[in-house]
């Protein structure tokens, strides 16, 4: 099932003369002094750069018209105006940018969000042009990238399972043009190509996360990932339940044995020419295709969202497809453990002791803390195969949502790599905040009978997000720089569409992972 996509191109023609169905310009919420008109109406809106020819076509009356229509310029607000022949496009969509920034142009994330909002608001249009304010200095590539990503992601819509046509549901915009000073500029064209590749990975992540859990159980998920990876020219190794048993992957088997759909571990490999002896990156993503909590079953309310508990795996697998297209000069190997956490006569239990892939023995207290069990095996395998950097991402703990909310991921691990995750997240609009791994929490995870407790003694949820990071640290060798990115909140958006996020899977943190891989390839 593939969701409809939007194509993207650059144009350098006068926006007022573009043969499109709608043109998007920006407006700020206030100007330094409100100029009173003859009838006493204060002109408090300020058109952003890029809209000059549009404003001229309206004889300078556009901002007053917008204000009369109720426009405030608030960030993300969209006001549509029929142009009645004043410009080539029949519809003008004016998107609010908030207050005028002190710099020359809005921040990239602002542009990313308003581009997404505008394209989604114009669903049903065949061709749309964006004439948003872009800087002409060193910040230009980041701004153009942001607009391109927002436009391609804001128009996303999951294909879904409806059997009848939905006449009131307009199709996504088919084509988006971005107005720039020089459409043939090589750097600008490179940004557009990169945006198309990266957002395709984000959209695929969203498709996988949004899929019904009966359609994407571990064996079928492994098949889909394998097909996509092989089509991209990547190496693939799949371990089924027999290979997992023979290999000693106790954590993956403990979680997966409760389901009639057996677990899998998928390894995806990218090795560029000349990468021998260079830095190696390992990606690991949690692939719990549905999480009932197992024997420690979850409450029924909201359990349907547990189809998204494989968001980390989806992001990692899709990131590898982007890597195959972008071809960074660094070897990247992904490890995707897949299991369905179900209660049954063969499910693992509280009180069990599980021998993990690296030989450590874990005393289980809560079968709903299953993600760390499958991840521990995958991370140990990644370290055994050899890597210099290990980036793991997972919808691991409700504690992340409590501590940081639905937009900001938590990141734990090696200080320097965690800081790089934070910087990359800020640049891509996928913020992550570094969190500590306190010794006192590790002391609370000492087991009387095994090497470590799966969760803190007495089921204490204090520092719950940090417990997950501390547990995963046990499966990383000392010579590997590692970062655990907890995306329990930001990987799934249960509210109405906002910015370039639509309802359902968000695709976080694909863009962060791609940026980190590119950074490691360039800087080590």
- Tokens 């519809």 — which residue? 91
Residue-wise pLDDT tens digits, 194-204: 999 999 999 99
The pLDDT > 90 percentage for the chain reads 90
Buried-state track 239-277, b at ≥16 Cβ within 10 A, e below 16: bebeebeeeebbbbbbbbbbbebbbbbbbbebeeeebee
24 with 130: CB under 8 angstroms? yes
**Nearest 5°: CA angle at 468, between 475 and 334?**
50
**Nearest 5°: CA angle at 428, between 425 and 432?**
20
Catalytic residue among 31, 193, 279, 298: 298
- The H-or-E segment that residue 505 falls in is strand 504-505
pLDDT band at 92 (very low <50, low <70, confident <90, very high): very high
**What is the DSSP secondary structure assignment for residue 87, as one 8-state letter?**
S
**Dihedral sign (CA 180, 182, 184, 187):** negative
Both ends of the chain: CA-CA distance in Å?
A: 38
pLDDT at 40 over 50: no
Q: Which residues pair with 130 in a beta bridge?
A: 24, 178
Say how far apart CA 375 and CA 396 lie, in whole Å: 10
Give the distance, in angstroms, between the CA of residue 118 and the centroid of all CA atoms in the same chain: 20
Q: Which domains does the chain have, with CATH numbers?
A: 7-184 (3.40.220.10), 199-523 (3.40.630.10)
pLDDT band at 169 (very low <50, low <70, confident <90, very high): confident
Give the distance, in angstroms, between the CA of residue 247 and the centroid of all CA atoms in the same chain: 32
Buried-state track 471-508, b at ≥16 Cβ within 10 A, e below 16: bbbbbbeeebbbbbbbbbbbbbbeeebebbbbebbbbb
Candidates 414, 419, 392; CA nearest to 487 is 392
Q: Output 277 or 262, whichever has higher pLDDT.
A: 262
pLDDT band at 519 (very low <50, low <70, confident <90, very high): very high
Say how far apart CA 252 and CA 358 lie, in whole Å: 12
Q: Given the DSSP bridges, would you call strands 389-394 and 492-493 parallel, antiparallel or unpaired?
A: unpaired
pLDDT at residue 39 in the model: 47
473 is catalytic: no
Q: Given the DSSP bridges, would you call strands 127-131 and 22-28 parallel, antiparallel or unpaired?
A: parallel
pLDDT at 182 over 90: yes
pLDDT at residue 144 in the model: 97
Say how far apart CA 239 and CA 222 lie, in whole Å: 10
Q: Output 276 or 178, whichever has higher pLDDT.
A: 178
Buried-state track 339-374, b at ≥16 Cβ within 10 A, e below 16: bbbbbeeebbebebebbbbbebebbbbbbbbbbbbb
> What does the pLDDT average to over 246-270?
98
Residue-wise pLDDT tens digits, 49-62: 999 999 999 998 99
Candidates 416, 398, 406, 415; CA nearest to 467 is 398
The pLDDT > 70 percentage for the chain reads 97
Catalytic residue among 224, 372, 381, 420: 372
- Tokens 């417990």 — which residue? 467
Helices (H), 257-370: 311-326
> What does the pLDDT average to over 10-22?
97
Say how far apart CA 139 and CA 142 lie, in whole Å: 6
pLDDT at residue 5 in the model: 82
Candidates 49, 46, 123, 133; CA nearest to 91 is 123
pLDDT band at 32 (very low <50, low <70, confident <90, very high): low
pLDDT at residue 35 in the model: 54
Candidates 96, 98, 97, 64; CA nearest to 79 is 96
Residue-wise pLDDT tens digits, 339-365: 999 999 999 999 999 999 999 999 999
pLDDT at 173 over 80: yes
**What is the DSSP secondary structure assignment for residue 219, as one 8-state letter?**
H
**Dihedral sign (CA 144, 146, 149, 150):** negative
Say how far apart CA 467 and CA 462 lie, in whole Å: 8
Reported pTM: 0.96
Residue-wise pLDDT tens digits, 274-314: 877 789 999 999 999 999 999 999 999 999 999 999 999 99
422 is catalytic: no
pLDDT at 244 over 60: yes
């Amino acid at each position: 099932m593939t969701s409809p996509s939007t194509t993207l191109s650059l144009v350098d023609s006068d926006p007022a003369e573009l043969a499109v169905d709608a043109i998007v310009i920006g407006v700020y919420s206030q100007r330094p002094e409100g100029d009173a008109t003859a009838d006493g109406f204060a002109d408090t809106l300020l058109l952003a750069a890029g809209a000059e020819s549009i404003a001229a076509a309206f004889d300078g009356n556009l901002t007053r018209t917008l204000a009369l229509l109720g426009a405030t310029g608030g960030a993300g607000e969209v006001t549509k105006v029929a142009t009645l022949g004043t410009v080539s496009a029949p519809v003008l969509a004016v998107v609010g940018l908030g207050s005028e920034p002190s710099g020359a142009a809005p921040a990239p994330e602002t542009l990313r969000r308003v581009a997404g909002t505008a394209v989604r608001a114009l669903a049903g249009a065949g061709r749309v042009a964006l004439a948003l304010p872009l800087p002409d200095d060193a910040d230009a590539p980041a701004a153009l990238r942001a607009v391109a990503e927002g436009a391609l992601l804001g128009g996303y819509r999951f294909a879904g399972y409806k059997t009848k046509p939905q006449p009131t549901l307009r199709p996504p915009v088919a084509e988006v043009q971005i107005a720039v000073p020089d459409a043939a500029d090589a750097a600008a064209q490179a940004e557009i190509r990169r945006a198309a590749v990266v957002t395709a990975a984000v959209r695929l992540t969203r498709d996988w996360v949004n899929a019904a859990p009966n359609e994407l159980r571990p064996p079928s998920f492994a098949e889909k990932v394998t097909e996509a990876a092989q089509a991209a020219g990547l190496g693939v190794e799949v371990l089924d339940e027999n290979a997992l048993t023979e290999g000693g992957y106790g954590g993956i088997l403990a979680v997966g044995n409760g389901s009639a759909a057996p677990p899998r571990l998928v390894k995806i490999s990218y090795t560029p020419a000349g990468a021998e002896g260079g830095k190696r990156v390992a990606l690991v993503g949690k692939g719990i295709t549905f999480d009932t909590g197992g024997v420690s079953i979850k409450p029924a309310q909201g359990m349907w969202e547990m189809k998204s508990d494989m968001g980390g795996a989806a992001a990692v697998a899709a990131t590898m497809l982007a890597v195959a297209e972008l071809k960074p000069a660094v070897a990247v190997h992904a490890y995707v453990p897949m299991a369905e956490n179900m209660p049954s006569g063969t499910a693992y239990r509280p009180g069990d002791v599980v021998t993990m892939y690296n030989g450590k023995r874990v005393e289980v207290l809560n079968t709903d803390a299953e993600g760390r069990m499958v991840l521990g095996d995958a991370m140990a395998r990644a370290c055994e195969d050899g890597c210099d950097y290990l980036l793991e991402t997972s919808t691991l703990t409700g504690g992340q949502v409590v501590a940081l909310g639905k937009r900001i991921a938590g990141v734990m691990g090696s200080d320097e790599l965690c800081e790089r995750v934070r910087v990359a997240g800020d640049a891509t609009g996928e913020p992550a905040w570094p969190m500590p791994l306190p010794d006192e929490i590790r002391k609370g995870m000492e087991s009387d009978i095994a090497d470590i407790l799966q969760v803190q003694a007495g089921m204490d949820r204090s520092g719950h997000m940090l417990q997950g990071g501390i547990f995963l640290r046990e499966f990383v060798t000392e010579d590997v720089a590692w970062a655990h990115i907890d995306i329990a909140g930001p990987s799934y958006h249960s509210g109405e569409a906002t910015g370039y996020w639509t309802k359902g899977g968000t695709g976080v943190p694909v863009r962060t992972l791609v940026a980190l891989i590119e950074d490691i390839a360039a800087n080590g």
